[in-house]
């Protein structure tokens, strides 16, 4: 895996986070010419996160917790891994529609660039609004709102299924003559722009608040307070919320409670990705008519029989400070352990990203399974789930068995060192599992 950072492009990369980019440099005729803008600026993600911590510390605020941060990073890894296999899915059929376009727009024209930028942001507004107003789709998007902290790591807390529910939202741009490369470019920049608005260390942005989405506006969107719900869906331009009646300014005299209205008590990434689908199923099954069953799936999360499509806001509990955060702790040794294994998982995910086209389906499956198991079990260890030691031992022995047969890192000395690391981890968790089993048996005999 050879990744180098071109420091001469730092100003350009920095501008990409704030949509300060040149139309001439970011217009392409063919898809294969488009750089991977998101991957190219990963180093800036890290720098921004470090800067946020330093600024918060200078202000006397603590905006990060290790357990919550690792959970967000885990969601990011899961999302990026699944994205490798669903890339372009949300734009399926775009080329077919483009061939039947009503208007011809020159791919190199600044007009095309601006139509694409505004069109993609408009499509994002309605896609985002849909994820909040349809219960089944909310089952995916709730992942992004599940953090009780609000910091830059929250931006990468995404659902592995999110792209699957965005189909059809950008396709109308094809009929307007917007070339596919222009849509893809602006989907990149729209995503990058939304990273920096996930923070509490940036206050009011003055006149920019009238036109652009800002940290202040997006803090409201992530609030569980009653006045925050279903507000500020914007990606880049807040004008969509102002036009369609979903805008709500931040209140200076009321602290925002972050997270979900019914906050799940877990740091397990995989469980958080799936648990709300069960809630949707149970709600639909509890209905007495077919009509209400369908409404339980396709109406808003707060809907119940006899209420409006999005539910009755007055019936919801109002979440106000102080609301205790779910904050399980583990020993320093266990923290060092999960950090070490998480770092290895991150490297393996990057290897999969870089070598996806060269890997066989079996290798892709093995890498993806390992990544999902790794991020899931980090949360299980934090949550203190009884089966976490057994699964962790199984995960580690699985890696050893695979790595002894197939090189993972491509450097013999490094591969051998990591195998040894996982073998030692296997012994630790296997002995811990046996200890827990003996304790359970002893307790059962006493009872």
Query: How sure is the predictor about 313, in pLDDT bands with cuts at 50, 70 and 90?
Result: confident
Query: How sure is the predictor about 5, in pLDDT bands with cuts at 50, 70 and 90?
Result: low
Q: How far apart are CA 91 and CA 180, in angstroms?
A: 9
Residues 6+ apart with CB under 8 A from 219: 150, 200, 250, 256
Q: How far apart are CA 237 and CA 118, in angstroms?
A: 9
Going 424 to 426 to 432 to 435, the CA torsion angle's sign is negative
Question: Is the pLDDT reported for residue 319 higher than 60?
Answer: yes
Residues 36-67: tens digit of each pLDDT: 898 888 889 999 999 999 999 998 888 889 99
281/443: higher pLDDT: 281
Residues 367-405: tens digit of each pLDDT: 999 999 999 999 999 999 988 999 999 999 999 999 999
Question: Is the pLDDT reported for residue 442 higher than 50?
Answer: no
Q: Dihedral (C-alpha) 134, 135, 141, 145: value to the nearest 10 degrees?
A: 110
Q: Give me the chain's average pLDDT, please.
A: 92
| Mean pLDDT within 402-430 | 94
Query: How sure is the predictor about 445, in pLDDT bands with cuts at 50, 70 and 90?
Result: very low
| Mean pLDDT within 183-206 | 96
Query: How sure is the predictor about 165, in pLDDT bands with cuts at 50, 70 and 90?
Result: confident
Omega within 30 of 0 (cis) for the link into 322: yes
Query: How sure is the predictor about 443, in pLDDT bands with cuts at 50, 70 and 90?
Result: very low
Question: Is the pLDDT reported for residue 185 higher than 80?
Answer: yes
Q: What are the angstrom distances between the C-alpha of 78 and each of 121, 146, 346, 427?
A: 25, 15, 10, 27
| Least confident window among 160-174, 309-323, 368-382 | 309-323
**pLDDT confidence of residue 436:** 59
Question: Is the pLDDT reported for residue 317 higher than 80?
Answer: no
* Residue percentage of the chain with pLDDT more than 90: 82
* Residue percentage of the chain with pLDDT more than 70: 96
pTM across the whole model = 0.92
Query: How sure is the predictor about 444, in pLDDT bands with cuts at 50, 70 and 90?
Result: very low
63/437: higher pLDDT: 63
């Amino acid at each position: 895996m050879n990744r180098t950072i071109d420091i001469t492009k730092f100003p350009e990369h920095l501008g990409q986070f704030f949509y300060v980019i040149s139309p001439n440099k970011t217009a392409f005729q063919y898809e294969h010419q488009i750089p991977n803008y998101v991957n190219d600026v990963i180093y800036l993600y890290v720098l921004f996160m470090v800067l946020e911590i330093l600024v918060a510390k200078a202000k006397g605020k603590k905006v990060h917790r290790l357990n919550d941060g690792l959970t967000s990073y885990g969601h990011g890894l899961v999302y990026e891994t699944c994205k490798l296999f669903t890339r372009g899915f949300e734009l399926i059929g775009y080329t077919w529609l483009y061939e039947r376009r009503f208007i011809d727009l020159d791919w190199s024209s600044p007009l095309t660039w601006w139509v694409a930028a505004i069109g993609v942001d408009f499509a994002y507004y309605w896609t985002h609004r849909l994820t909040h107003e349809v219960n089944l789709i909310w089952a995916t998007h709730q992942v992004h709102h599940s953090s009780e902290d609000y910091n830059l790591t929250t931006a990468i807390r995404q659902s592995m299924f999110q792209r699957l529910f965005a189909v059809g939202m950008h396709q109308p741009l094809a009929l307007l003559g917007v070339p596919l490369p222009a849509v893809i470019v602006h989907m990149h920049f729209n995503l990058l722009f939304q990273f920096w608005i996930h923070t509490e260390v940036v206050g009011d942005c003055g006149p920019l608040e009238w036109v652009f989405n800002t940290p202040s506006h997006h803090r409201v969107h992530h609030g569980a307070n009653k006045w925050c719900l279903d507000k500020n869906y914007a990606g880049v331009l807040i004008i969509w919320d102002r036009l369609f009646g979903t805008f709500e300014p931040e209140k200076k005299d009321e602290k925002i409670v972050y997270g979900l209205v019914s906050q799940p008590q877990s740091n397990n990434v995989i469980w958080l990705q799936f648990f709300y689908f069960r809630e949707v199923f149970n709600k639909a099954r509890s209905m007495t008519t077919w009509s209400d069953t369908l409404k339980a799936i396709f109406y808003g999360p707060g809907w119940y029989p006899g209420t409006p499509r999005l539910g009755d806001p007055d019936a919801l509990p109002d979440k106000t400070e102080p609301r205790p955060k779910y904050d399980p702790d583990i020993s320093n040794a266990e923290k060092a352990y999960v950090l070490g294994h998480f770092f290895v998982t991150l490297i393996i995910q990057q290897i999969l990203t870089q070598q996806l086209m060269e890997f066989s389906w079996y290798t892709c499956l093995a890498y993806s399974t390992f990544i999902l198991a790794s991020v899931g079990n980090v949360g299980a260890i934090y949550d203190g789930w009884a089966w976490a030691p057994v699964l962790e031992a199984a995960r580690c022995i699985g890696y050893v068995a695979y790595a002894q047969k197939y090189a993972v890192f491509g450097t013999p000395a490094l591969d051998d060192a990591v195998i040894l690391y996982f073998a030692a981890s296997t012994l630790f968790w296997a002995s811990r599992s046996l200890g827990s089993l003996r304790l359970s048996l002893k307790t059962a005999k006493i009872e």
